[in-house]
Structure 1
Amino acid sequence: MNISFHGADRGVTGSCHLIHCSGKNILIDCGMYQGGHELDEENSKPFGFDPTKIDYVLLTHAHLDHCGRLPLLVKRGFRGEIITTSASRALARVVMMDAAGLQEEEARYQARKHHRRGEQTDADPLYATVDALNTLDYFGRTADYEKPIAITPDIQATFYDAGHILGSASIVLALNENGIKRTVAFSGDLGNAGRKLLRDPTPLPPVDVVVMETTYGDRLHRSLDGSIAELYLAINDAKARGGNIIISTFALERTQELLFYLREGVEQGSLPRGMQVFLDSPMAISATEIFKRYPDCYTPATAALFAHGQDPFNMPGLHFTRETSQSMAINNIVGGAVIMAGSGMCTGGRVRHHLKHNLWRNDSSIIFVGYAANGTLARQIIDGASKVKIFGEEIAVKAKIYTINGFSAHADRDELLAWHRHIHPARTFLVHGEEPVMQKFAALISDSVIEIPTRGQTFDLS
């Protein structure tokens, strides 16, 4: 009985952990590395285990850094069963298909670029749309919160609401090998409590071992009310200056939460009723439609809106722009537009085009509302770069930059500590965080043996 680590180890992305028990191999998540070119290369490297030997994948949630390499796993021979919640299954389909399309598009671009130079190139995508479609065939049983699933006679899994995004889960495994029993919890990504849209994370029962995220393990979030007020201020200020507002946002959960608060702002008079809002992300549009199918996942107040026939994500002046031509037309708007586009870390997607057209303008505002990993364009701007390179062109950073972290879908330091104290594990593995953050968080825990694993490291659990 052992655990090995194959992603998000002393880093924030690429979540992937492997349990071996009673002859079975169970993978918890199989996410994509996100960041600079160096991390892109990490995605194509061997997993560190044989995909053909994996019997099950338990998926905590549908963010790209947790599910993004599932199609690569299948492409390389996985033929087991993927188990997750119903909402995560629906969202993972959208995420994987979008990732495959982007990789195919990038491969075509690289092929054209090298062809013009007369160079040879291996321009194959990491995986293609057909691989993403094939992956859907391996999604098997659906997990319901707090209802144990017998994976094998010796292994049982229970999913608990993690409150991070729609369908997200923490997973507790009850393991039995030759009479030796262990309970191992995987936090997945833990949600930030007290939000208006999703429920708070469900506390887990006590366990022997925990593998937990530490993304914000060294800091506290700003209050939600203060963050909403700053969002309204940033929008109104840019409109008064005659510029546009670019919100770099993640397609899952963050987009829907922001739509919720924008609607409230318009209804309460904090934002102008005639404000034009463009959701310029096909994946975010599809995800928003999926969010409407699961009203039972929300707080009672939000569920009541659905029950009374109200759409909490809609408002006057909201435009969904799926087509590329529609997206390009937005750049003809001189001022007053709120443009929400992905990706959240500005590593790709349509937001880079909108940044190119607005980042150099003194009258525009750029709003970041989520985590930005080292090496990403978003992190460069947040850290105060005077100019950045977008599509090979240097762009001056003159717009007003806002970083509003109170919308984070991750638990902050104190929430992580409270969650850890509740389950009181004898042994703790810290993952999914930058190494200095992990070290600071580890110093705050005195009642558990702390491990900070490196990639490929294996630990005995018996």
Structure 2
Amino acid sequence: MKLTIWGAARQVTGSMHLVEVNNYRILIDCGLDYERETRLEENAFFPFDPEDIDVVILTHAHIDHSGNLPTLLRLGFEGQILCTSPTADLTELLLLDSVNIHMNKQRRRSKRKHRNGGFAPLYLQKHVMDTSDRFVTIDFNKPFRLNGDITVELIPSGHLLGAASVILTVREHGFEKKIAFTGDVGRKNYPVMVDPADLPPVDYMVCESTYGGRYHSKAETVEQVLIRNIDETCIKNPGRLIIPAFSIGRTQALVYSLNKIFSEGLLPRVKIFVDSPLANYATEIFRKYHPMLNNEAHEFYQRRGDEFEFENLFYVQDMKESRHISNYLEPCIIVSSAGMLEGGRIQDHLFYNIQNYYCTILFIGYSAKGTLGHRLLRGDPVIHLRDRELSVYATIRQTDLFSGHADHNDLVNLVQKQDKELLKKLFLVHGEPASMEAMKTELEGVGYHVIIPEKGQVFEI
């Protein structure tokens, strides 16, 4: 068996790993690499022939894991894409949104170069629909036979609705080997999501390391952070609380947490606007797969009803309604995408409120370097938006309590549940080099064989 790390090697995005067993080729994830803007076009080139891939196994829907699937099909892949049912639905939604993002970026580039047209997005809506036709959905915790020698099993990883770790069981030369791909590992007790499940004993593991060396805050709960910010911004003052949030996963967790606060009477009611078409569609998928939410959400549903619907919550449907929010003069909460402020309706709300002393912008997710969100979080006094220089008078805050990733301790504990005598090699991917080194140091200290692979590095296992 041969393993090649083709993506998320010493970086976070672009997850893609190739397993070859007796000329049968399995691709684990096929994500977009968007570490740097100049790399977008590079996603159109694969380091292997897509026609040679027999099957793709998708851990979850996020674009850094799924976003290059349509390109793979466009260039000749003819096999099936295996994943859970929620992952199939959410991936289609995100890929269609990705088409719009690519088209808009290419149009802006064309304008800057004074050309009319000539842009070439990675893929079109047709390629997304072709991708959706290849999905074959399988249940959690039920082995699925790929061929006579290979079985795959999906284990809940808790990171996103439908997210899974992948366990491959391979029979080769009379011996059985197991290799685990963790995908992205979620946090315990995260709103709406199930806890990540323990993995069975394996011989090899490819493990994410996003939060290696970093630890989530424990001083406050999600509800306490929200209550404090709402109280200071909207109750004690006539202000606006603007929360940039990714549309899928983060927004649903936030809405549920707000529902708990207001339905239990912990604060006076404040109008809440969810201004993201993608989030609205995603919430319907969360409702569709309600049985797959965690026990706390089910208990809430029995007591209070729909987790994602309550009296003072308003889902914005179109641009006309979105513009009307600017004319709403009462204190309110605005939840909008994108989470890093790079495009989306959030930029409209930012434009009209960044110079409002009574506005607080609360970041609940990560903002990559170079993004508008990152510039605000580092304290830039002036930002450039819509060809204008705007002074920052709004209050800027951040919490990591809505992060969907396991932190250093959780990742280390996940690995340490594996017998160090049985686990022959641990490969760290999907993280910054410093994060990987922090995990490597701790795990090697207790006896694990840890490797931080380079992109394209091949391992005989």
The two structures have a TM-score, normalised by structure 2, of 0.93
**Structure 1 ranges of 4+ moved more than 6 A:** none
Question: What letter matches 1:47 in structure 2?
Answer: F
SS of 2:56 mapped into structure 1: strand
SS of 2:165 mapped into structure 1: strand
2:405 & 2:126 partners in 1: Cα distance?
32
Structure 2 residue aligned with 1:185 = 180
Structure 1 residue aligned with 2:72 = 73
How big is the shift at 1:432? Answer: 0.9
Question: What letter matches 1:26 in structure 2?
Answer: I
CA contact 1:103–1:128 (8 Å) conserved in 2 = no
Structure 2 residue aligned with 1:328 = 323
Structure 1 residue aligned with 2:120 = 124
How big is the shift at 1:109? Answer: 4.1
SS of 2:51 mapped into structure 1: helix
1:303-314 alignment runs, 5 A limit: 303-306=298-301, 310-314=305-309
- Spell out, residue by residue over 1:275-326, the C-alpha distance to the aligned partner (whole angstroms, 9 max, x if none): 1111111111111011011222122232234456810111112111232222
Question: What letter matches 1:62 in structure 2?
Answer: A
Change (3 A) 1:235 1:449: same
Structure 2 residue aligned with 1:283 = 278
How big is the shift at 1:187? Answer: 0.6
Structure 2 residue aligned with 1:103 = 102
1:212 & 1:245 partners in 2: Cα distance?
37
How big is the shift at 1:40? Answer: 2.9
Structure 1 residue aligned with 2:26 = 26
Structure 2 residue aligned with 1:435 = 433
1:121 & 1:101 partners in 2: Cα distance?
15
1:335 & 1:431 partners in 2: Cα distance?
47
CA contact 1:243–1:334 (8 Å) conserved in 2 = no
Change (3 A) 1:29 1:335: farther
Structure 2 portions without partners, runs of 5+: none
2:163 & 2:341 partners in 1: Cα distance?
23
Question: What letter matches 1:256 in structure 2?
Answer: Q
- Spell out, residue by residue over 1:143-178, the C-alpha distance to the aligned partner (whole angstroms, 9 max, x if none): 211110101111111100101111010111112333
1:171 & 1:374 partners in 2: Cα distance?
30
2:357 & 2:416 partners in 1: Cα distance?
47
1:25-424 alignment runs, 5 A limit: 25-34=25-34, 36-44=36-44, 46-114=45-113, 117=114, 119=115, 122-140=118-136, 142-223=137-218, 225-239=220-234, 240-273=236-269, 275-306=270-301, 310-334=305-329, 336-424=331-419
Question: What letter matches 1:194 in structure 2?
Answer: N
Identity over aligned pairs, percent: 35
Change (3 A) 1:5 1:300: same
CA contact 2:191–2:257 (8 Å) conserved in 1 = no
CA contact 1:29–1:59 (8 Å) conserved in 2 = yes
How big is the shift at 1:190? Answer: 0.7
CA contact 1:241–1:364 (8 Å) conserved in 2 = no
CA contact 2:3–2:17 (8 Å) conserved in 1 = yes
1:216 & 1:111 partners in 2: Cα distance?
37
How big is the shift at 1:449? Answer: 1.5
How big is the shift at 1:392? Answer: 4.2
SS of 1:444 mapped into structure 2: helix
CA contact 2:210–2:431 (8 Å) conserved in 1 = yes
1:158 & 1:352 partners in 2: Cα distance?
41
CA contact 1:306–1:312 (8 Å) conserved in 2 = yes
Question: What letter matches 1:247 in structure 2?
Answer: I
Question: What letter matches 2:318 in structure 1?
Answer: E
Change (3 A) 1:459 1:397: farther
How big is the shift at 1:136? Answer: 0.8
Change (3 A) 1:348 1:17: farther
1:111 & 1:267 partners in 2: Cα distance?
49
CA contact 1:216–1:437 (8 Å) conserved in 2 = yes
2:246 & 2:86 partners in 1: Cα distance?
17
Q: CA RMSD in A?
A: 2.0
1:150 & 1:257 partners in 2: Cα distance?
34
CA contact 1:295–1:306 (8 Å) conserved in 2 = no
Please identify, of 438-447 and 394-403, the stretch whose mean Cα deviation from structure 2 is larger. Answer: 394-403
Structure 1 portions without partners, runs of 5+: none
2:27 & 2:390 partners in 1: Cα distance?
42
How big is the shift at 1:338? Answer: 1.2
How big is the shift at 1:47? Answer: 2.2
Matched length: 455
How big is the shift at 1:410? Answer: 0.8
How big is the shift at 1:35? Answer: 5.2
Structure 1 residue aligned with 2:458 = 458
Question: What letter matches 1:368 in structure 2?
Answer: F
Please identify, of 314-323 and 104-113, the stretch whose mean Cα deviation from structure 2 is larger. Answer: 104-113
How big is the shift at 1:211? Answer: 0.7
CA contact 1:10–1:435 (8 Å) conserved in 2 = yes
1:393 & 1:75 partners in 2: Cα distance?
40
Question: What letter matches 1:17 in structure 2?
Answer: H
- Spell out, residue by residue over 1:311-364, the C-alpha distance to the aligned partner (whole angstroms, 9 max, x if none): 011111211123222223323335522111112222332222222222232221
Question: What letter matches 2:135 in structure 1?
Answer: F
How big is the shift at 1:42? Answer: 4.0
Question: What letter matches 1:178 in structure 2?
Answer: H
Question: What letter matches 1:23 in structure 2?
Answer: N
- Spell out, residue by residue over 1:19-67, the C-alpha distance to the aligned partner (whole angstroms, 9 max, x if none): 11121111111112345523434434x1222111111111111112111
